[in-house]
Structure 1
Amino acid sequence: MLATTGTVTTFSLAGCLGGGSGDGTTIETRYMDAPGLEDYFEKHTEIFEEETGIRVEYETIGWGEAQERLLTDITSQTGPDVQEIASTWIPEQADAGGWMDLESDEVVDHIPNTEMFEDGAMDVATFQDSLVGIPWFWGPRAWQQIDEEIETGGVDGHPDDWDALVDQGQAYDGDTDLFALMGADFEPMRNFAMFLWQSGGQLLTDDNTEPAFHNEEGVRALQFYADLYTEYDVLSSETVEWGAADINGAFAGRQMASTVDALGTVSAYEDEDGHSLDDLSISAPPVGPDGDGGTFFGMELLGIHPWTDEPEAAAQWIDYLLRAEPNAEISSTVGFLPTNPDGFDTEYFDHELYESFNDEVFPVARTYPQVLGWGEIEGELNSAVAGVIQNAVTGDLEDGDIEDALEDAADVARQTL
């Protein structure tokens, strides 16, 4: 799910599929908004109408009420025909009958060709053998650094593993911090998941029936996360409260030399006067002690509600949005990467840095299990991790606290699963 706070845009498509006869057909769809989307949709709804005769109208609703509103729509079988799906919402909503199987006869001939999407994207889009959404845009969290700041601080290159990260942090002699991570909202959970995968662990067992984050690998991951603040003094304690705006501002203002984050940080840097993408370099994050890699990715999808009266029109609109140019433009607008690989051949991603995201980072990018009850598990584990980190930076973390926190979260996970 996107970290930005915004609105959801509802579209009404009116017209006919073939020639704009104006038969009064109306299809509504909602999207998570971000700055620049009004211009984007004004442009592309006009193009879409010219091609198909389908007129598109839209309205907005705030992110804060989006999930509750969507569940209400699903329960009552009302609301828009097409909607953007936050990936972590899929299991609960699909189990409640909220999404059409996009491989059904009604729409399969009108949706985008799913062979173009990466396997990881399709894993998220598929729930209980049904294709519930079309991957729209996504973003893995990459190691990204301002090369000049790194060199000025007396260190060289990207850290390959945890030891190299610690060594660089302790050797760095720049005027800014070497490294920072977001620590607010659900970032503690995402950071922990990254370190867990790098430690060789996983969040749930292979069959998604039991928690697995509380074992030896999980304890090692959370201990390393805490030690970056305390034992190694690599992360500044102030970053515990940092959200997206804080990390973007600090990176764009060169108040730190490197981070692990998605494309939003890069965009913020590029938007600053006098800055260029040529200043930056991108790689997969450092691997763990046994050579495992891993980083978190978020993804947004487009789905069709099963109560739609116009499934073909809905699918045709989704197909249009997944063309290379529209897909690249929306991805660039919201600070993510296109799921259509041809989007990297457009003007919006005409820089080798974006290829680094795609070629070096996606192969080790993972996301949360598609399992019922994950939202509750995620919330509990995020609170547990945040509590450990907060106690670490205030000097209140005692021996055994990490094991106890993860075991308590695992108890909740067992009950939920």
Structure 2
Amino acid sequence: MDAPGLEEFFEEHTARFEDETGIEVEYEFVGWGEAQETMLSDIMSRSGPDVHEIASTWIPEQYDANGWMDLDSGSVVDELPSTDLFTDGALDVATFQDTLVGIPWFWGPRAYQQVDERIEAGGVEGTPSDWDGLLDQAEAYDAENNYFAIMGADFEPIRNFAMFLWQNGGQLLTDDDGAPAFHDDSGVEALEFYADLYAEYDVLPSETIEWGAADIQGAFTGGQMASTWGALGTVSAYEEADGNALDDLSVSAPPAGPDGDQGTFFGMELLGIHPWTDEPEAAAQWIDYLLQAEPNAAVSNTVGFLPTNPDGLETDYFDNELYRTFDEEVFPHARTYPQVLGWGEIESELNSTVFEVLQSAVTGDLAAGDAEAALERAASVAEQTLE
């Protein structure tokens, strides 16, 4: 991975770790766009670093290629943090086919975020508790900036769709992960609602369909909109802008759908050890160091996530009640993608499908039944992938 501030973090903490243990750490960064291909290439050639960051959604493919050591057995167990440190949700993601593939490093849910002063200036009070409230507030909102916006570029369409789907009582795959479920009535209703936020209700500005992280953060911090949903990276960007402060913000779980669910997406990054390493104990000690409260809090703060070590929330990096809200009130509603071999192909197909439906909504070309037909086509691809 690569992100602003990480070079300084690793320069400081590799030096500290070497002072404490005598173990020298060399590190390198890989951009997100190249990371999955680079990691799989390393796994197939049995090369690359001893310790590697793991994106949770890539675990099945990499595990199937024998890319990760079982961290719950062998010589590394005594050197690693105790799994008692982590919540069940984190360990569920870290464990694949009864194997502890990685140690949870940092994670974060998407919260509904608003600048209270802007909301009030638009004649609206409080945070919308459900979809109807979101529409009512958007209609009543009267200010120069936009009421609400979310990202539409990259892999954001499927993440947003997944949230609307969960909020509407649906799920991406069946309970046994054996078949697609996103194309049932709850999925069609969720996608139609998402599209109607552009086309019928005029809640989402049309230009936001092309917005990535930098765009949404720039708009939110710069006063172009009053509310959004996002992870802590949005909060950090807001706080760092001149004239802004954390006390300006309110955060909550996203508005509930008709089913009463406030489902939101979370991502988690882990640390794993490749099984061909010549230094398993040293690799495990490095992971143990990175999971200590202060380093874990520092890196989490740098990349805009929450630390997986609960003690990290007690450090100065997270000394604000807003972070407690993320952890205590938003996380209970958070879910992530199914961990199943072939999910990468399904994710890509569904992301393209959702984006095409949204584009049609923005251009006024979306007709009745189009969303349902598009999800049916994506489900056919998913069925073939899961066979």
**TM-score under structure 1 normalisation?**
0.91
- TM-superposed deviation, 1:57: 2.2
What SS is found at the alignment partner of 2:79?
coil
Q: Is there any run of 5+ residues in structure 2 with no aligned partner, and where?
A: none
The CA distance in 2 between the partners of 1:38 and 1:350, in whole Å, is: 24
- The one of 226, 251, 260 aligned to 1:257: 226
- The one of 400, 408, 416 aligned to 2:377: 408
Q: Per-residue CA shift, 1:159-199, capped at 9, x if unaligned?
A: 00000000000000111111000000110000000000000
- The one of 236, 241, 252 aligned to 1:267: 236
What SS is found at the alignment partner of 2:78?
coil
Partner of 1:355: 324
Q: Per-residue CA shift, 1:347-371, capped at 9, x if unaligned?
A: 1000001111001110000000000
Pairs aligned (count)? 386
The CA distance in 1 between the partners of 2:212 and 2:36, in whole Å, is: 21
Q: Which amino acid aligns with 2:13?
A: H
The CA distance in 1 between the partners of 2:79 and 2:367, in whole Å, is: 58
- TM-superposed deviation, 1:158: 0.6
Partner of 2:58: 89
Q: Does 1:64 align with 2:33?
A: yes
- TM-superposed deviation, 1:254: 1.1
What SS is found at the alignment partner of 1:54?
coil
Q: Per-residue CA shift, 1:15-40, capped at 9, x if unaligned?
A: xxxxxxxxxxxxxxxxx121111111
% identical aligned pairs: 75
- TM-superposed deviation, 1:65: 2.4
Structure 1 or 2: larger helix share?
2
Q: Which amino acid aligns with 1:95?
A: D
- TM-superposed deviation, 1:61: 3.4
The CA distance in 2 between the partners of 1:336 and 1:40, in whole Å, is: 15
Partner of 1:115: 84
Range that drifts further, 111-120 or 297-306:
111-120
Compute the RMSD of aligned alpha carbons.
Answer: 0.9
Q: Which amino acid aligns with 1:364?
A: H
Partner of 2:49: 80
The CA distance in 2 between the partners of 1:123 and 1:189, in whole Å, is: 22
The CA distance in 1 between the partners of 2:234 and 2:49, in whole Å, is: 33
The CA distance in 1 between the partners of 2:88 and 2:359, in whole Å, is: 36
- The one of 153, 166, 170 aligned to 2:122: 153
- TM-superposed deviation, 1:308: 1.0
- TM-superposed deviation, 1:48: 0.7
Partner of 2:253: 284
- TM-superposed deviation, 1:86: 1.1
- The one of 201, 210, 216 aligned to 1:232: 201
The CA distance in 2 between the partners of 1:40 and 1:281, in whole Å, is: 29
The CA distance in 1 between the partners of 2:33 and 2:218, in whole Å, is: 23
Partner of 1:167: 136
Q: Which amino acid aligns with 2:216?
A: I
Q: How does 1:287-366 map to 2 (within 5 A)?
A: 287-366=256-335
- The one of 145, 153, 159 aligned to 1:184: 153
Partner of 2:99: 130
What SS is found at the alignment partner of 1:175?
coil
- TM-superposed deviation, 1:62: 3.3
The CA distance in 2 between the partners of 1:390 and 1:64, in whole Å, is: 23
What SS is found at the alignment partner of 1:164?
helix
The CA distance in 1 between the partners of 2:159 and 2:10, in whole Å, is: 31
What SS is found at the alignment partner of 2:67?
coil
- TM-superposed deviation, 1:207: 0.4
The CA distance in 2 between the partners of 1:141 and 1:190, in whole Å, is: 10
- TM-superposed deviation, 1:375: 0.2
Structure 1 or 2: larger strand share?
1
The CA distance in 2 between the partners of 1:341 and 1:222, in whole Å, is: 36
Q: Which amino acid aligns with 2:338?
A: P
The CA distance in 1 between the partners of 2:35 and 2:128, in whole Å, is: 39
Partner of 1:369: 338
Q: Which amino acid aligns with 1:247?
A: I
Q: Which amino acid aligns with 2:49?
A: P
Q: Is there any run of 5+ residues in structure 1 with no aligned partner, and where?
A: 1-31
The CA distance in 2 between the partners of 1:122 and 1:303, in whole Å, is: 13
Partner of 1:39: 8
The CA distance in 1 between the partners of 2:32 and 2:368, in whole Å, is: 40
- TM-superposed deviation, 1:115: 1.7
Partner of 1:4: none
- TM-superposed deviation, 1:77: 1.3
Range that drifts further, 77-86 or 238-247:
77-86
The CA distance in 1 between the partners of 2:369 and 2:66, in whole Å, is: 43
- TM-superposed deviation, 1:64: 2.8
The CA distance in 2 between the partners of 1:116 and 1:344, in whole Å, is: 13
Partner of 1:390: 359
Q: Per-residue CA shift, 1:211-264, capped at 9, x if unaligned?
A: 000001001100110111121111111100100000000000011000011111
Partner of 1:19: none
The CA distance in 1 between the partners of 2:204 and 2:378, in whole Å, is: 25
Q: Which amino acid aligns with 2:192?
A: Q
- The one of 174, 196, 207 aligned to 2:176: 207
